[in-house]
Amino acid sequence: MKITVTTHDDNLFVLDVSEDLELINFKALCEMETGIQSQQIGLSHNGQLMIDDFKTMKTLGVRDGDVIVIQKLTNNGMGSDFSNSSTNILPQFDFSRIQVPGTSNGNQPARQNQMQDAEYVRKLFLSSPDQMALLKQNNPRLADALSSNNLEEFAKVMAEQVEDRNRRENQRIRMMKAHPFDSEAQKLIAEEIRQKNIEANMEAAMEYNPEMFGTVVMLYINCKVDGHPVKAFIDSGAQTTIMSSACAERCNIMRLVDVRWAGIAKGVGIQKIIGRIHMVQVAIENDFLTTSFSVLEEQPMDMLLGLDMLKRHQCCIDLKNNVLRIGTTGTETPFLPENELPDCARLTTSSDYDVDKKEDKELKKAMEESKKMYQSGESSSSSSPSHSYKESDIKELINIGFSREQVIQELDRFNGNKNQAMASLFAKILKF
């Protein structure tokens, strides 16, 4: 397991040790790193001084990823930085008592201590580029909070993760104490084994195949449609060649759209097909190839060369030479580098941001429509006629033989005119 060791002069290093390593041997490793004699090394874990040299790290409660603080002890056994202090205690470096900012019980000194702990941990990571890189790789959420220069946000994220870790540890303790044939204990054991297998698989992938964690550049080529330059996406998984309505308008071919072929395109998402352009010439390098397009209403990519065109012209996607080879003519065209890709395909474009932006736009649109409906409802209710008729008119019409609901409905219809309402009621009765 990997343990982060720090001193009060902001020296930081990581030791990879076994959980069965005794404390006295761990102090010897710290002596090699810091130059402080092992007899003068005091180790603090979660604010508690580790004093039994012959206990293992596991017995002392040290787990993978924990932080241990080194104190140089004086002759009286206490830290040199605190030997003259009236309190004579080690600095409290306890992650478990860090609370989410804004949810404290009004204890201002406790909140100050929490923020001081978060600030101390933040400085430790900022002072070590290696640890900062590991944090970005293994815990991107905490790394983002650290980079935001917002101490309260960093303390909040760190407190949530510590709370989650304590919860999982409590589950593990309950699992160990439970009956071996308990169904809940079996589920917890299976989940823990699954998580360990996932972590081991990820560590192996990062060590032996780090390129798997990179982002692959999509395959785009330059072409021309009716003389207009277009960046086309090569997609052998698409059944047909597709073009966006915006690109069709830009290429002046919307006049050729046959709306009889309108429909719905279903795949990863659902989009509306406006129609089909049956024949268009696409210029790739010096070749002029004929193809057809299905025009989609809200397609982010301008043009997508599907399997129908790739098979018709016997195209070959040569990833070794990074070219698209047209088999019918032998022409080769290179795939575009990342800096020439359209905005919708750049690696710097965040899909999560685009989704959030689209959701915000839809939410804003729905709120505006709801507001309009509410205002129209208010205007209709304000413009509706008030009940200007009398109760005596209602009773007179009821005595003739009509129900109260019918009478009120007709009076509302004729703005309280009793004679017109009576005529209308008799006319409805006489209707066959």
Q: 159 with 272, same domain?
A: no
Counting the structural domains of the chain, the total is 6
> Quick check: is 117 catalytic?
no
Q: 252 with 315, same domain?
A: yes
Nearest to 324 by CA among 350, 308, 305: 305
- pLDDT tier for residue 375 given thresholds of 50, 70 and 90: low
Residue 129 clears pLDDT 60, i.e. is over it: yes
Q: Specify whether the backbone of 227 is left (phi greater than 0), alpha (psi in -120 to 50) or beta.
A: left
Mean pLDDT of 148-154: 81
pLDDT in tens, 238-281: 888 999 999 999 998 888 999 888 887 776 567 788 899 999 88
Which CATH number do you get for residue 42?
3.10.20.90
Phi, psi of 44 (to 5 degrees): -120, 125
**Residue 281 lies inside a defined structural domain of this protein:** yes
**Residue 151 lies inside a defined structural domain of this protein:** yes
Q: 89 with 102, same domain?
A: no
Give the contacts of 186 (CB within 8 A, at least 6 positions apart): none
**Residue 417 lies inside a defined structural domain of this protein:** yes
**Residue 172 lies inside a defined structural domain of this protein:** no
Give the contacts of 226 (CB within 8 A, at least 6 positions apart): 251, 252, 253, 280, 281
* Percentage of the chain lying above the pLDDT 90 cut: 12
> Dihedral sign, CA of 317, 343, 299, 226?
negative
Q: 341 with 253, same domain?
A: yes
Q: 245 with 309, same domain?
A: yes
Does residue 380 or residue 5 have the better pLDDT? Answer: 5
Q: 327 with 364, same domain?
A: no
**Residue 270 lies inside a defined structural domain of this protein:** yes
Q: How far is CA 316 from CA 69, 91, 287, 309, 331, in A?
A: 60, 66, 15, 11, 10
**Residue 251 lies inside a defined structural domain of this protein:** yes
Q: 224 with 134, same domain?
A: no
Q: 230 with 274, same domain?
A: yes
| Domain that includes residue 408, residue range | 391-430
User: Is this model's pTM higher than 0.85 or not?
Assistant: no
Q: 340 with 236, same domain?
A: yes
pLDDT in tens, 83-125: 443 334 344 444 444 444 444 444 555 566 666 777 777 777 7
Q: 287 with 335, same domain?
A: yes
| Lowest mean pLDDT, pick from 65-74, 177-186, 279-288, 377-386 | 377-386
Q: 225 with 339, same domain?
A: yes
- Selecting among 66, 94, 182, 235, the annotated active-site residue is 235
Q: 9 with 87, same domain?
A: yes
Mean pLDDT of 328-353: 74
Q: How far is CA 309 from CA 99, 286, 304, 316, 331, in A?
A: 60, 17, 10, 11, 15
